[in-house]
Structure 1
Amino acid sequence: MSKRPYVICLMMTSLDGKILGEKWGKDDRVQLLTKSFEEAHDAIGMKAWIVGRATMEKDFTKFARPVYKEGALQINRADFIATREAKSFAIAIDGNAKLGWESSIMLGDHVISILTEAVEDSYLAHLQEVGVSYIFAGATTVNLQMALEKLKTLFGIETLMLEGGGRINGSFLNEGLIDEFNQLLLPLADGRVETSSVFEIAEKDRKLDATLFKLESMKQIENDVIWLKYKTIERV
C-alpha cells in the first residue's frame, strides 16, 4: 500500500498546451469553454484538491496579504490539525507563508496549508486562530513526498487532485508523484510565448528526461472539448 495519496493531475489547456485561461479574454464562447474544468472536477469527484501558492492567491484568495497575530508566543513546529472530520479539503503549497487566510473554509472545503519550518510564529498563531490546518514539510523548502504522506496519515486523504500551476505540476512530475493526468483540450489557441504550460521544470532541477504516459480514454464532451485521460507508466 502506498504511503501517499493517488495523485490525479487535472488541467484545461489550449491546443498549444497553455493553461492561463484569464489570458483568453471575456468572450462568451471562451467562458463557456473554460466551464468544462469545474464540470470535469465535479465528475471525477475529488475529496481533496491541491494547488500552488501562485494559483491559490490569483484564483481563490485574491492576493490577500498574510496576517500576523500580534504578541504571538513561540510556537513549536508541530503539525496543526484543526479538524479531521471535514468532508473535503482545499490544500495550498505555501512554503514561505505568503497567503493571507481570513477563514478556514474555501469553496466549502477545509483549508490545509503546507509550510516549511522557516515561517514566523505570528503567522502560525493567526492560522490557529482562524482554524486553518497546517503541516510542515521541510526546513526551508517543501518536500512534496513528505507533504503527501502527511496528508494521507493525518487527514485520511487517499486520492488527491492536482490543479496547477505549471511549476507545481512540474515539481510533482519531476518527483514522480503524478499517477494520472486528465487533460481538457479546448478548441482554442493561445500563441503567447510567455504563457505558462502544463508542466514547467527548471533545467537545474530536472531529475529525468521525460515521463511516459499511456492513453486510457478519450472522449469529446460539450463544445468540442476533448477529455484525455492518461496513466503514468515510466520515467526515462
Structure 2
Amino acid sequence: MKIICHMISSVDGRLYPSRWGSPQEPADITTLYEGVAKRFPAQGWIVGRTTMSDYCDEVKEGDPAPLRDADAPQSPAFVGNREGRPIAVAIDPKGKLLPEINALPTGEHLVLVLGARVAESHLEKLRAAGVSYVFEGEGGSNREKLAPALKALEDLFGAKTLLLEGGGIINGAFLTAGLIDEISVIVYPGLDALFGSAAIFGVKAQENQLPGAGAHLKLLDNETLEGGAVWLHYNVKND
C-alpha cells in the first residue's frame, strides 16, 4: 500500500487555518486542498481520532472502550455495508469513537483502526451501526502497530493508496514507522507564528533525538497555485 501524507499549512508549517494571516491575493483553503487531493488515485484517507470527531458531528468521542480479558480470543475484523464508497479511516486504538453512522456526509464509508484488546461489547455497537473496523498489531513500535492495520485495509477494502491527512501526532507516528511513501504539502501564503502551535509532524522525543532523520525526500513536482500558494510533492525514501 502507498501512503501519501497530504496536508496544507501556513508558510511556517502550522496546521490551524483559523490562526493564519490572510494573503494579499484571495485563495480558498478548501478549494486548494481538495483540488490537489483529487490528483491522487486514492481509495480513501486516514486521520486520527480527534480529527475525525471534529470532522463529523455524528462521530462522537467518549470514554475509552472496555478491554477484553487477556486470555479471551480476539474478534476478527468486520466489514460493514460499504456500497462501493471510498473509505475514511480513523486511528482509534482506545475505542473512544462512538459513530452513529457508517458513512460520512461527504460520502466515505467509515473504518476504525482499533487496539487489539478492545472488548466485544464495544465491537457489537460498531457492528450495529454498520461501521467497519480492523485492528492494530500488538507490538510496541509504531510500525508494529500500524503495518498490520494497513495490510488489513488493503486486503479487506482493496485500498492500494490512502491519503494521510491527520494532525501532527498521527502523521508523526506514520513517519517514525517508515510508512509514508510520498508527501504532498500546499504552502498557504499566511503565517501563524505562535510558538508551539501544531505542525505537520509532531513527534514527542528528546532534543537529542532526530525523529525525521530517517526520511529522505526527493522533489517530484512543484507548482504555484491560486493566490500564491505553492504545492510541493516529494518522494520519501525511508531507512
Using the size of structure 2 for normalisation, the TM-score is: 0.83
Which residue does 2:192 correspond to in 1? Answer: 190
1:50 corresponds, among 46, 49, 71, to 46
Equivalent position SS for 1:105 = coil
Which residue does 2:84 correspond to in 1? Answer: 86
Unmatched 5+ residue regions in structure 2?
Answer: 65-71
Which residue does 1:166 correspond to in 2? Answer: 168
Q: Residues 208 and 197 from structure 1, CA distance in 2 versus in 1: closer, same or farther, beyond 3 angstroms?
A: closer
The 2-side partners of 1:66 and 1:123 are apart by 12
Equivalent position SS for 1:43 = coil
| C-alpha deviation, 1:60, in angstroms | 2.5
Deviations for 1:57-108, whole angstroms, at most 9, x for unmatched residues? 122347724499xxxxx99521111146523100000000111201000120
The 1-side partners of 2:111 and 2:161 are apart by 15
2:227 corresponds, among 223, 229, 234, to 223
Unmatched 5+ residue regions in structure 1?
Answer: 69-73
| C-alpha deviation, 1:41, in angstroms | 1.7
| C-alpha deviation, 1:125, in angstroms | 0.9
The alignment-based identity, stated in percent, is 32
In structure 1, give the amino acid aligned to 2:13. G
For 1:76-155, list aligned pairs within 5 A: 76-83=74-81, 85-106=83-104, 107-139=106-138, 143-155=145-157
Deviations for 1:138-167, whole angstroms, at most 9, x for unmatched residues? 349771111111111111110111001111
The 2-side partners of 1:207 and 1:219 are apart by 28
The 1-side partners of 2:110 and 2:205 are apart by 32
Q: Residues 103 and 31 from structure 1, CA distance in 2 versus in 1: closer, same or farther, beyond 3 angstroms?
A: farther
The 1-side partners of 2:40 and 2:151 are apart by 22
The 2-side partners of 1:216 and 1:51 are apart by 24
Equivalent position SS for 2:5 = strand
In structure 2, give the amino acid aligned to 1:232. V
Q: Residues 194 and 48 from structure 1, CA distance in 2 versus in 1: closer, same or farther, beyond 3 angstroms?
A: same
Q: Residues 20 and 210 from structure 1, CA distance in 2 versus in 1: closer, same or farther, beyond 3 angstroms?
A: farther
Deviations for 1:156-191, whole angstroms, at most 9, x for unmatched residues? 110111001111111111011000000000000110
| C-alpha deviation, 1:212, in angstroms | 1.4
Report how many aligned residue pairs link the two structures. Answer: 227
In structure 1, give the amino acid aligned to 2:168. G
| C-alpha deviation, 1:25, in angstroms | 7.7
Q: Residues 200 and 67 from structure 1, CA distance in 2 versus in 1: closer, same or farther, beyond 3 angstroms?
A: closer
In structure 2, give the amino acid aligned to 1:116. G
The 2-side partners of 1:163 and 1:139 are apart by 24
Contact 2:41/2:161, CA 8 A, preserved across alignment: no
The 1-side partners of 2:62 and 2:121 are apart by 10
The 1-side partners of 2:150 and 2:26 are apart by 34
Say which is worse superposed, 138-147 or 107-116, in terms of deviation. Answer: 138-147
Q: Residues 34 and 195 from structure 1, CA distance in 2 versus in 1: closer, same or farther, beyond 3 angstroms?
A: farther
Contact 1:75/1:121, CA 8 A, preserved across alignment: no
Equivalent position SS for 2:36 = helix
The 1-side partners of 2:53 and 2:21 are apart by 20
